[in-house]
Amino acid sequence: NAGVTQTPKFQVLKTGQSMTLQCAQDMNHNSMYWYRQDPGMGLRLIYYSASEGTTDKGEVPNGYNVSRLNKREFSLRLESAAPSQTSVYFCASSEWTGGNTEAFFGQGTRLTVV
Amino acid sequence: GNSVTQMEGPVTLSEEAFLTINCTYTATGYPSLFWYVQYPGEGLQLLLKATKADDKGSNKGFEATYRKETTSFHLEKGSVQVSDSAVYFCALSSSSGGSYIPTFGRGTSLIVHP
């Protein structure tokens, strides 16, 4: 089972460049999320999509945009990368089933902005 | 809003020692509680979960009990192994405006020495 697939796994950007992080899940989940992980900060929610066609801001949305392309895919875009966006980015998906909302994670994208 | 507080690390133990990682939470309603584990270079994966008060989640020798009266979900293992070295995240999931958004603690790094 593929689960949640993120691409790319590693990326180096120059300040001001743009890029899109791709995420796809094959579990037919309605909800998808983008987190960033920084040392000492844990996981912080950037954006989420409760269902196809909806997106909402999380805790740290500034500098990012998202697109829920279809039920499977949820992309994260950096329009003008800044060094403060150097981080590990994780995509996750989940489905609410009678109280179980286990989140399934991708392997992460390690982004460095120089 | 929802929040999760877990003890700071790193926690350093010798093999076969007893492990406790404390976790407390603040949430509205009746959240589900989770422990996730992250091995180096990987995404998070579910370790165990509990969906209602007094439930005990268990997996791979790890246990945690959902204590509503103390709003806690402490992780324990009787005898740790070197292979348990990882970062452990406490998390909750509860309804927020019709969506179910996982909220994570900052993570606790566990280092087990032979």
Which string of DSSP letters, residue by residue, matches A32-46? EEEEEEETTTEEEEE
Nearest chain B CA: its distance from A82 CA (Å) = 23
d(CA B90, CA A10): 27
Measured between CB atoms, which of B49, B91, B101 is closest to A48? B101
> What's the per-residue H, E or C state across A6-21?
EECCEEEECCCCCEEE
Count how many residues are written for chain A. 114
Q: Does B43 touch chain A (CB under 8 A)?
A: yes
pLDDT the model gives residue A97? 65
Chain A contacts to B (CB-CB under 8 A): 4, 31, 33, 35, 40-43, 45, 48, 50, 56, 58, 90, 92, 94, 96, 99-108
**Is the pLDDT assigned to residue A63 strictly greater than 70?**
yes
Nearest chain B CA: its distance from A93 CA (Å) = 10
- With CB atoms and an 8 Å threshold, state whether B102 touches A108: no
Q: Does B93 touch chain A (CB under 8 A)?
A: yes
Range B5-29 average pLDDT: 94
Measured between CB atoms, which of A41, A94, A106 is closest to B43? A106
pLDDT the model gives residue A42? 87
pLDDT tens-digit readout, B20-68:
999 999 988 788 999 999 998 899 999 999 998 999 999 999 999 999 9
pLDDT class of A1 with cuts at 50, 70, 90: low
First to last CA, chain A: 35
pLDDT the model gives residue B8? 85
DSSP H or E segment with residue A81: none
